[in-house]
Amino acid sequence: MIHARGLVQTFMTGQGKKKTEVHAVDGVDIDVAEGEVVGFLGPNGAGKTTTLRMLTTLLKPTAGTATVAGYDVVTQSQDVRRSIGYVSQAGSTFSSAIAGDEVMDHGMLYGMSRRDAERKGKELFEQLDLPGLWRRMPKNMSGGQKRRLDIAMGLIHEPNLVFLDEPTTGLDPQARANLWEHIAGLRAKQGVTVFLTTHYLDEADHLADRIVIIDKGRIVASDTSDNLKAQVSGDLVDLEVAGDEQIAVARDKLGSIAQGVEVEGRHVRGRVERAGRVVPGLLRDLDSGGVALDSIEVHRPTLDDVFLTLTGRSLRDADAASDAAGAADGESTDELEGATR
Partner 1 sequence: MTPLFWRESFIVFRRQIRMNLRNPAWVLIGVLQPVLYLVLFGPLLKPLVAQFDLPTDNPYTFLVPGLLVQLGMFGAFFAGFGLIAEWREGVVEAERVTPASRTALLVGRLMRDLLQLLVQALILIGLGFWMGMRAPFAGVVVGVVLTLCVGGACAAASNALALTTKSEDVMAPLINMIMMPVLLLSGIMLPMTLGPSWLERISDFMPFRWITDAVRDTFVGDLGTSAMAWGVGWAALLFVLALWWGTNVFRKENA
Residues 6+ apart with CB under 8 A from 187: 35, 37, 193, 194
Between 198 and 225, whose beta carbon lies closer to partner 1? 198
Residue among 111 and 289 whose Cβ is closer to partner 1: 111
Considering beta carbons, is residue 11 or 134 the nearer one to partner 1? 11
* Dist. CA 274–CA 271, nearest whole Å: 9
Kind of pairing, strands 161-165 and 193-198? parallel
Residue 153 in the binding site for partner 1 (CB under 8 A): yes
Window 267-306: contact mask with partner 1 (x via CB under 8 A): ----------------------------------------
**What distance lies between CA 237 and its chain's CA centroid?**
27
Question: Is residue 19 left, alpha or beta, with left meaning phi > 0 and alpha meaning psi from -120 to 50?
Answer: beta
- What is the CB neighbour count within 10 angstroms for residue 339? 14
Which of these segments, 34-42, 79-87, 127-135, 308-316, binds partner 1 (CB under 8 A)? Answer: 79-87
Residues 6+ away with beta carbon under 8 Å from 43: 199, 215, 315, 318, 319, 322
Please report whether residue 229 would count as binding partner 1 according to CB under 8 A: no
Q: Identify which of residues 149 and 239 has a Cβ nearer to partner 1 in the complex.
A: 149
Under the binding rule (CB under 8 A), the answer on residue 197 touching partner 1 is no
Q: Which of 8, 29, 67, 108 binds partner 1 (CB under 8 A)?
A: 108
User: Taking CB under 8 A as the rule, does residue 134 contact partner 1?
Assistant: no
- Work out which of 63, 97, 298, 325 binds partner 1, going by CB under 8 A: 97
Q: Are 36 and 1 in contact (CB under 8 A)?
A: yes
CA dist., res. 341 & res. 337, Å (int)? 7
Taking CB under 8 A as the criterion, the residue among 44, 93, 198, 222 binding partner 1 is 93
Binding site for partner 1 (CB under 8 A): 11, 56-60, 78, 81-82, 84, 86, 88-98, 101-102, 105-106, 108-111, 150, 153, 339-341
